[in-house]
Amino acid sequence: MRSAVRYFGVTNWDMNQHAKIETKIEIRHSTCPHDCPSACALDVEVVEGRSIGRVRGSKKQTYTAGVVCAKVARYAERIHHPERLMYPLRRTGAKGSGQFARISWDEALDEIGHRFNQAEREFGAESIWPYYYAGTMGLVMRDGLNRLTHVKKYSRFYQTICANVGRIGFAIGTGKIAGVDPREMAVSDLVVIWGTNPVNTQVNVMTHAARARKERGAKIAAVDIYDNETMKQADIKILLRPGTDGAFACGVMHVLFRDGYADRAYMDKYTDCPDELEAHLKTRTPEWASAISGVPVAEIEAFAKLVGETKRTFFRLGYGFTRSRNGAAQMHAANCIPAVTGAWQYEGGGAFFNNYALWHFNESIIEGQDAIDQTTRALDQSKIGRILTGDAEALLGKGPVKAMLIQNTNPMTVAPEQALVRQGFAREDLFVAVHEQFMTETAEMADIVLPATMFMEHDDLYYGGGHQHISVGPKLIDPPGECRSNHQVLQALAPRLGASHRGFEMTPRELIDATLKLSDHGDIAGLEADLWRDLQPDFRTSHYLDGFAHADGKFHFKADWAHPPFGKTMGDVDQMPSLPDHWAVIEHSDQVHPFRLATSPSRSFLNTTFNETPSSQAREGKASVMIHPLDAASLDIADGEAVTLGNTRGETTLIATLFEGVRRGVLIAESVHPNKSHVGGRGINMLTGAEAVAPIGGAAFHDNKVWIKKATAA
């Protein structure tokens, strides 16, 4: 295998021996596997072939451009963490007691096999629900669990916890999930970063936006619900009330039409109903938008003027849209703006959310798609609390879930409706096996815990959601203790469960190779030799200059929500506005719940990944909530004081941080801290809801009405 290999002879002195010791450091290529759109190309120091040193961003890969976030730069701290799980464990105390005893792999696998087969015999195959998510974004280790599900006809897994809402909101306009090359931000004159905080979550966006500012004098505009780290670096700041992006977008488009900034020739050629849109927007004045969004009329007018006058305006639309009950409609409304101005025509202009449509991965072997039985139920990931507590609607009218194998996710902390999730995992009649890297709060509730590899300890195939590269992340070092990869666990379970599929017979490298070939991306040898492959289509295609991806070739101002290009329809689809608008289905504050809460991402945790590394813990500090000083004063809450937040779903206690960068009536809690880090042991997702966001499901993590008060002494 050819890779970016350099050798450094590092001289250390052994003081006892007074002798020089040469430490061999090899620089190997890898790809960041974490749930972050950047999927950074990494240069990893492999020390003596056994351990990891410094991790740097590849300077050769044009998206990563030599930059990675601090938490991955110090990855040695995580991969060589003394608290990693090292061998299989069996629970010996009550669920959640943390009492486990070491057992052998054979004992662990036999027990899982026995309990799964027993559940299948007594309650049917659909009583077993394999559950996974994006703890790794590698296709082999993330999606392989579906192969077992499909072959065994277990309950399927319908993903809703992350990007559905944003994806459909973007694609309903363009026809597919793909946009302008994100590197084109560097040649923009105005970069609008909307609904995302890349300084915290995707540092590479800032690399390209900052380059445009430095080299071209471009402006950076940030549109968000609090003065976050990205907003602080922006030239123009638009501070919205949560869930009002659609209103703001409509107010902006009203001005664009009114003041002659709408590109009528472009719209006539490339969009479906510009006249109808213009008529619809007549009543969506800046005053109307201001009353809903809280953005002053003058700021709406000024933003619209700037967007209208700047042909090269790049809209980087983010995952914040996906966390709101009206998120799809809001994303669509924001995405309509460059179609009104015709910004898509220009280099550095247009919009980008995600490049899902570019990769065309054929995962048929990895996922065992030939074995899918569409008659088996597909359970909603976000509704795990309702499902495990026997909610008939969430169980889709069928029987209870009796056994689970969980890989790559920590629902005891990250899933909404935590009160129900905890109740469900506490069931004595529920058998749970968790395959994990650390003793997470979900692993603590398991009957069997299996130790898992990290990405540098196995081979996998990756794509970048925030760009367009695919790459292999090869195994660089041996795993510690008895850790095994997700794929190895599936291989060992398959015969015990009577599951037969050629995917179980293949190595990860064979699966990668076969997947690349099936997907017309060459083979593993070629991809490793090249380090990555850039799948960005040419300029005309990326900018939809030969037509958008709908059958009529037009960008759709009028959204057909009832017939989404992917996913299954859920939620109040028939109430969604077809033309861009403010859809008022958010959880509005009321007398009992006078505040709106968003649970925004932090810089040093990634969901609950990195919860365990000391430097991330030190940086994030205690679980806290930002509140405007005037709101705090009205409730006699002091900075640093413990406060309890609550709603009909539950309560949580955090530390108040007084901050003028949030609006009155808005609370922001960054990070998903472990439940046990909160006073009282109840985490932030006690407050979040799991009802399906229209049109294809999702969880509205930023859309909560709550009350807040001083915490009473524990």
Cα separation, 307 vs 190, whole angstroms: 8
Look at strands 236-239 and 378-380 and give their pairing: unpaired
User: 669: number of CA atoms within 13 Å, CB side?
Assistant: 33
Least distance (Å) from ligand SF4 to the CB of residue 32? 3
Tell me how far, at minimum, the Cβ of 182 lies from ligand SF4, in Å.
Answer: 13
- Supply the DSSP symbol for 152: H
Give the nearer residue to ligand SF4 in terms of CB position, either 205 or 506. 205
CB-based contact 662:656 (threshold 8 Å) = no
C-beta of 451 vs 466, nearer to ligand SF4:
466
Nearer of residues 68 and 255 to ligand SF4, judged by Cβ = 68
Q: Pick left, alpha or beta for residue 309 (phi over 0 → left; psi -120 to 50 → alpha; otherwise beta).
A: alpha
Rounded to whole angstroms, the Cα distance separating 44 from 27 reads: 5
Q: What are phi and psi of 378, to 5 degrees?
A: -115, 110
* Percentage helix, strand, coil for the chain under 3-state DSSP, each rounded to 5: 35, 20, 45
For residue 89, give both structure tokens: 């464990």
Nearer CB in complex with ligand SF4: 70/94: 70
Cβ proximity to ligand SF4: between 310 and 604 the closer is 604
Distances (CA, A) of 246 to 6, 120, 581: 51, 47, 5
DSSP 313-372: EEEEE-GGGGGSTTHHHHHHHHHHHHHHHTGGGSTT-EEES--HHHH----HHHHTGGG-
Q: Are 608 and 672 in contact (CB under 8 A)?
A: yes
CA–CA separation, 705 and 504 (whole Å): 46
Strands 51-57 and 41-47: antiparallel
Q: Give me the least distance between CB of 142 and ligand SF4, in Å please.
A: 15
> 38 or 410: whose CB is closer to ligand SF4?
38
Cα R_g (the chain), whole angstroms: 25
Contact present, 286 and 255 (Cβ < 8 Å): yes
- Spatial neighbors of 67 by CB under 8 A, at least 6 apart, are 40, 57, 203, 204, 207
**Crossing angle of the two packed helices 327-341 and 274-281, in degrees rounded to 10:** 110
| Closer residue to ligand SF4, CB minimum distance, 73 or 291 | 73
| Cβ closest to ligand SF4, residue 209 vs residue 606 | 606
Residues 6+ apart with CB under 8 A from 670: 200, 599, 600, 601, 602, 620, 624, 626
CB of 55 to ligand SF4, least distance (A): 8
Question: Smallest gap, in angstroms, from Cβ of residue 467 to ligand SF4?
Answer: 10
Q: Name the minimum Å distance from CB 35 to ligand SF4.
A: 8
Binding site for ligand SF4 (CB under 6 A): 32, 34, 36, 38-40, 68-69, 72, 202-203, 606
Instruction: Provide the 10 A C-beta neighbour count for residue 502.
Output: 13
Choose between 37 and 698: whose C-beta lies nearer to ligand SF4. Answer: 37
The smaller minimum CB distance to ligand SF4, of residues 39 and 177, is found at 39
The least distance separating ligand SF4 from the CB of residue 533, rounded to whole angstroms, comes to 17
Of residues 206 and 395, the one with the C-beta less far from ligand SF4: 206
Number of neighbours of residue 305 by Cβ within 10 angstroms: 15
C-alpha of 652 from chain center: 23
Residue 51: both structure tokens together: 């351990």
By beta-carbon proximity to ligand SF4, the closer residue of 244 and 611 is: 611
Q: Which is nearer to ligand SF4, 207 or 453 (CB)?
A: 207
Shortest separation between residue 469's beta carbon and ligand SF4, angstroms: 11
Host H or E run for residue 513: helix 508-518
The CB-of-605 to ligand SF4 minimum distance in angstroms stands at: 11
Shortest reach from residue 601's CB to ligand SF4, in Å: 11
Q: What string of H, E and C letters represents the secondary structure of 434-498?
A: EEECCCCCCHHHCCEEEEECCHHHCCEEEECCCCCEEEEECCCCCCCCCCECHHHHHHHHHHHHC
Q: Least distance to ligand SF4 from the beta carbon of 72, Å?
A: 3
Is residue 45 within 8 Å of 580, Cβ to Cβ?
no
Cβ 478 to ligand SF4, closest distance in Å? 22
| Smallest distance from ligand SF4 to CB 198, Å | 9
Which of 137, 667 has the CB closer to ligand SF4?
137
Q: Which CB atom, from 462 or from 555, has the smaller least distance to ligand SF4? A: 462
The minimum distance between CB 339 and ligand SF4, in angstroms, equals 30
What are 204's two structure tokens?
Answer: 């590479």
CB of 244 to ligand SF4, least distance (A): 29
In 3D, which of 292, 293, 285 has the Cα closest to residue 252?
285
- The nearest distance, CB 446 to ligand SF4, in angstroms, is 26
Would you state the structure tokens that stand for residue 623, as one six-digit string?
């679980």
Distance CA 692, CA 341 (A): 33
**Neighbouring-strand partners of residue 30:** 42
| Of residues 202 and 440, the one with the C-beta less far from ligand SF4 | 202
